[in-house]
Structure 1
């Protein structure tokens, strides 16, 4: 199971990614092409053209980790946007892994309160 830390950001890299890329190729894509910081513990999520495979690249203390999920049947719902990268919550990322469309699922809005003392 993929470790999910509440502090780590989740970046969904839109479009199709060549799944033959491993740690080196994906990390170069993140640092050079997308201009994002690799060593923060953030999750960088990639999907293939057929939407049957997802790879997650992240830095874990002293090295890169690469996690993959390949569906034997069905396809992942993958967001489409003009942007190259979307920042998702861990909850939305979990929805993708569970086969839900994160752009369609709506829950109660988050509440925040201020102390009036």
Structure 2
């Protein structure tokens, strides 16, 4: 999913995980003023408990939408500032 990615954006704070592709693309476009159809951009969202993330990327003919849930009371270290985006590079998520 991260192949040929130029920008990786983290949606700081938490995202309502009832949102699916349509809701996430609307958030990217309306709230963050970015183009969700940019094929070289990966958007990553985290749930309120920081136990799961969703990744969203346009691949040219549709969206790739992946979810990862952590097991055994593990949590993602996630920026808490609600409503902002962070631009990171591929090395920071490996």
Quick check: TM above 0.5? yes
Question: What do residues 19-63 of structure 1 show as CA deviations (whole Å, max 9, x unaligned)?
Answer: 111000000000011101111121010000100000001100111
8 A Cα contact 2:13 2:82, kept in partner: no
Gaps of 5+ in 2: none
8 A Cα contact 1:10 1:93, kept in partner: no
TM-score of the aligned structures, taking structure 1 as reference length: 0.72
Q: CA 1:60–1:19 in structure 2 vs 1: closer, same or farther (change >3 Å)?
A: same
Q: Of Structure 1 and Structure 2, which has the larger fraction of its residues in strand? A: 2
- Across the aligned residues of Structure 1 and Structure 2, the Cα RMSD in angstroms comes to 1.6
Gaps of 5+ in 1: 95-117
**Counterpart of 2:36?**
38
Q: CA 1:83–1:18 in structure 2 vs 1: closer, same or farther (change >3 Å)?
A: closer
TM-score of the aligned structures, taking structure 2 as reference length: 0.89
- Between structure 1 and structure 2, the one with the greater Rg is 1
SS at match of 1:24: helix
Aligned residues: 92
